[in-house]
């Protein structure tokens, strides 16, 4: 009973918030609704018994990714509404039809029951974080290490990309140009 | 009773919303938001399947998707900041500089 109420509440709210994200013309509205949608997505994970994944979703997505976007907002002019030319109807039509065909192919693809098997069953008497740790550090150890290296590379790349010419800001260079013009 | 199909339908709807965003929007930041929505939809489907088959592999894939999304945001925002400093806009139509 409560599971059903929670599921329908979460799904309606998530879909509504993500619709706001996609169709909003204000970046701040879009970012805020995206963040709250992410919080509700964590609710789906808790409903499915994936406690650790839900906590990771809250910490990484809501905490880190949205904070990163919020910091990125400092560089963009977010107060003005976005004016954008909409894509032509022909493009939308062609893309929509081809994606629908792809979906039909995906759902109609034959799957034989023999190829579906449990590859990493959780430990019987372990809580979810324990079971996740046991599988992550045995069967998925190599992907875990590769993901760690990838995050390190992404961190270095982010610092180098965004930190380039960080000492001279856009507004400051404008001021300097104005001052130089005045001198001339 | 909430079954696997309920979760898969919600995940499909969320993915469709993200796809509409990717096709329709012309602002690069909004494209990033739509990508995040699509990744989250895939995560919901993975968690639900992992629960109903009693298999932790789905949750593992969801973890790696979260890690990849985090690094994508770090690199992507760095590139967007560089682009905004250079062009002063994030509109996709203004990026067609290679048009002959």
Looking at residue B2, its pLDDT comes to: 81
Look at the pTM and tell me if it is higher than 0.95.
no
**Are the beta carbons of A61 and B63 closer than 8 angstroms?**
no
Nearest CA to B42 out of A57, A151, A47, A152 is that of A57
Are B17 and A158 a contacting pair at CB < 8 A? Answer: no
Q: Which candidate from B23, B29, B74 shows the least CB-CB separation from A154? A: B74
Interface mutation vs chain B, best among A32, A84, A164, A168, most B CBs within 10 Å: A84
- Structural domains in chain B? 4-94 (1.10.287.3510)
Looking at residue A97, its pLDDT comes to: 84
Looking at residue B34, its pLDDT comes to: 93
d(CA A135, CA A158): 31
If you measure CA to CA, which chain B residue comes closest to A157? B75
In this prediction, residue B14 has a pLDDT band, given cuts at 50, 70 and 90, of: very high
- Per-residue pLDDT of chain A (184 residues), as tens digits, is 888 999 999 999 999 999 999 888 888 889 999 999 999 999 999 999 889 999 999 999 888 888 888 888 877 776 666 666 666 778 777 887 888 888 888 877 777 777 777 777 777 788 888 898 988 899 899 999 999 999 999 999 888 887 776 665 555 555 555 555 555 5
E strands in chain B: none
Pick the CATH number of A1-81 from 1.10.3720.10, 1.10.10.10, 1.10.1740.10, 1.20.120.1200: 1.20.120.1200
Looking at residue A38, its pLDDT comes to: 93
Nearest CA to B13 out of A95, A92, A22 is that of A22
A170, burial (CB in 10 Å: exposed 0-12, middle 13-18, buried 19+): exposed
Residues 6+ apart with CB under 8 A from A23: none
Q: Which candidate from A41, A154, A158 shows the least CB-CB separation from B44? A: A41
Is the dihedral angle over the CA atoms A172, B76, B27, B33 positive or is it negative? negative
Are B48 and A44 a contacting pair at CB < 8 A? Answer: yes
d(CA A24, CA A9): 22
| ipTM reported for the complex, 2 dp | 0.90
Are B43 and A170 a contacting pair at CB < 8 A? Answer: no
- pLDDT digit string, tens, across residues A3-33: 899 999 999 999 999 999 988 888 888 999 9
Looking at residue A35, its pLDDT comes to: 93
Looking at residue B63, its pLDDT comes to: 93
- pLDDT digit string, tens, across residues B29-86: 889 999 999 999 999 999 999 998 888 888 999 999 999 999 999 899 888 888 888 8
If you measure CA to CA, which chain A residue comes closest to B14? A15
Q: Which candidate from B24, B34, B64 shows the least CB-CB separation from A87? A: B24
Are B50 and A48 a contacting pair at CB < 8 A? Answer: yes
Q: What are phi and psi of A151, to 5 degrees?
A: -65, -40
CB pairs under 8 A between A and B: 197
Looking at residue A10, its pLDDT comes to: 93
If you measure CA to CA, which chain A residue comes closest to B57? A120
Are A121 and B54 a contacting pair at CB < 8 A? Answer: yes
Looking at residue B55, its pLDDT comes to: 87
Q: Domains of chain A: which residue ranges?
A: 1-81, 140-184
In Å, how far is A11's CA from the nearest CA of chain B? 7
CB atoms within 10 A of CB A54: 20
Residues 6+ apart with CB under 8 A from A158: B74, B75, B77, B78
DSSP summary character for residue A123: P
Residue-by-residue DSSP string for A2-47? HHHHHHHHHHHHHHHHHHHHHH-S-HHHHHHHHHHHHHHHHHHHHH
């Amino acid at each position: 009973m409560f599971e059903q109420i929670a599921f329908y509440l979460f799904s309606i709210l998530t879909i509504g918030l993500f619709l706001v994200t996609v169709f909003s013309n204000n970046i701040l509205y879009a970012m805020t609704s995206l963040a709250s949608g992410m919080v509700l997505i964590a609710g789906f994970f808790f409903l499915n018994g994936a406690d650790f994944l839900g906590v990771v979703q809250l910490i990484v997505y809501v905490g880190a990714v949205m904070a990163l976007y919020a910091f990125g907002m400092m560089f963009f002019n977010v107060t003005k509404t976005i004016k954008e030319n909409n894509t032509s109807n022909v493009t939308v039509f062609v893309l929509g039809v081809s994606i629908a065909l792809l979906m039909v192919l995906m759902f109609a693809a034959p799957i034989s029951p023999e190829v579906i098997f449990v590859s990493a069953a959780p430990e019987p008497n372990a809580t979810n974080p324990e079971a996740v740790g046991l599988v992550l550090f045995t069967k998925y150890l190599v992907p875990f290490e590769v993901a760690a290296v990838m995050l390190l590379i992404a961190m270095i790349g982010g610092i180098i990309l965004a930190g380039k010419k960080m000492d001279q800001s856009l507004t400051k260079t404008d001021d300097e140009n104005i001052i130089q013009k005045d001198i001339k | 009773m909430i079954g696997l199909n309920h979760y898969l339908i919600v995940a499909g709807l969320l993915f469709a919303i993200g796809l509409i965003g990717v096709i329709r929007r012309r602002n690069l930041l909004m494209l990033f938001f739509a990508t995040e929505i699509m990744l989250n939809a895939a995560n919901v489907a993975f968690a639900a399947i992992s629960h109903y088959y009693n298999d932790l592999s789905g949750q593992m894939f969801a973890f790696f998707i979260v890690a990849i999304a985090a690094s994508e945001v770090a690199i992507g925002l760095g590139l967007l900041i560089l682009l905004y400093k250079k062009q002063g806009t994030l509109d996709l139509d203004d990026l067609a500089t290679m048009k002959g």
